[in-house]
Amino acid sequence: MSEILLKIENLFVQYDTEEGIVQAVDDVSLEVMREEVFGLVGESGCGKSTLALSIMGLLSKPMGRIVSGHIYLNDTDLVGMSQEELRNIRGKNISMIFQDPTASLNPVFTVGDQLIEAYRAHDKNIEMDAAKSKATGMLRKVGISNPETRITQYPHEFSGGMKQRAMIAIGLANNPQLLIADEPTTNLDVTIQAQILELMSDLKKEYSSSILLITHNLGVVAELADRVGVMYAGRMAEIGTARQIFHDPQHPYTKGLINSLPGFKSRSDRLPIIPGRVPNLVRPPSGCRFHPRCPYASEQCAVEASKGRIIDGRYVSCHMGIKDLEGKAGIRYEQ
């Protein structure tokens, strides 16, 4: 069995909008290893959620479509699969938990019904009683006390943190190989976020699932992820281990983001900022999409985007960053 669980190769995804075609994911490649937490970071509109929906085969149709590229799960390409085939994979091999647990649980069914449905959808022969006891056990595992009563309750009887626990239980029901978690703690309070992060790192040890963790919160990524990909305006800026990304970023966008976080030591009164704003993807900037905001941009950057290279196991898509890694004079970040 190969070490690579999920391999995305040169993926292009477009949306039709009133303003025109948006290239939401533009030539993105990444690999998620078995039993790894891969953190995907970026700001709103950078394409990180679109990437997740593409993997799940859940792009809204007909506006969204995969134009080209491949998504291999265990060497099987998911791109071009029929909905029928995808349905067999979703929930069983891959499952997803969303940012807003309130919107992703069905309000007219009990939490138990929804969890039992997850079992029955992929195992037609399972007895109702067996499914029920599995569901109870799963709720207990995600830290919901008194699960025998809880499975008979409706989502509105659960608090926000409890709903997210229930979503995680549904996501893990069939012991998927890949769990996609899209901003799993964003709507939660700080202390509840801590509970959910703790739960996810415990479950990561217990189950041998890989997790694709999508978030804009760099702190959450630093705590959970083994490797990290940083996306900007539909493209992958860089991929590396968590330590490489946080201690030695090679893309000026990553560096800028980390430096601009408030509240950490060695911060003066003025935070170093990334100037400008996130571009509109209907008319993205020429060349490297970050060049209008990049303090290191050269003329080359405005004309031609870096093709991206893998050097010493890390991917960088920046002319200057690549030179740096090759030992030539590129950006000399002040430490």
Q: Point out which residues bind another protein (CB under 8 A).
A: 43-44, 159, 161-162, 189-195, 197-198, 216-223, 225, 242-243, 246-247, 256-258, 260-265, 267, 269-275, 277-278, 293
| CB closer to another protein, 78 vs 199 | 199
Q: How far is the CB of 110 from another protein (least distance, A)?
A: 20
Q: How far is the CB of 201 from another protein (least distance, A)?
A: 10
C-beta separation of 160 from 101 below 8 A: yes
Q: How far is the CB of 294 from another protein (least distance, A)?
A: 12
| CB closer to another protein, 68 vs 260 | 260
| CB closer to another protein, 71 vs 228 | 228
Q: How far is the CB of 114 from another protein (least distance, A)?
A: 21
The first and second tokens of residue 122, run together, are 């992929």
**Which bin fits 320, alpha (ψ -120 to 50), beta or left (φ > 0)?**
alpha
Q: How far is the CB of 63 from another protein (least distance, A)?
A: 21
For residues 313 and 265, what is the distance between their CA atoms, to the nearest angstrom?
30
Q: How far is the CB of 260 from another protein (least distance, A)?
A: 4
What's the distance, Cα to Cα, between the start and end of the chain in Å?
41
Collapsing DSSP to helix, strand or coil, 75 comes out as: coil
For residues 282 and 21, what is the distance between their CA atoms, to the nearest angstrom?
6
| CB closer to another protein, 55 vs 162 | 162
| Nearest in space to 198 (alpha carbons), one of 164, 175, 228 | 164
| CB closer to another protein, 93 vs 215 | 215
- Alpha carbon distances (Å) from 134 to 107, 137, 170, 172: 22, 5, 11, 12
**HSE-CB for 15 with a 13 A CA cutoff:** 19
Q: Are strands 4-17 and 64-73 parallel, antiparallel or unpaired?
A: antiparallel
| CB closer to another protein, 81 vs 242 | 242
Q: How far is the CB of 197 from another protein (least distance, A)?
A: 7
| CB closer to another protein, 86 vs 192 | 192
Q: Are strands 178-182 and 94-97 parallel, antiparallel or unpaired?
A: parallel
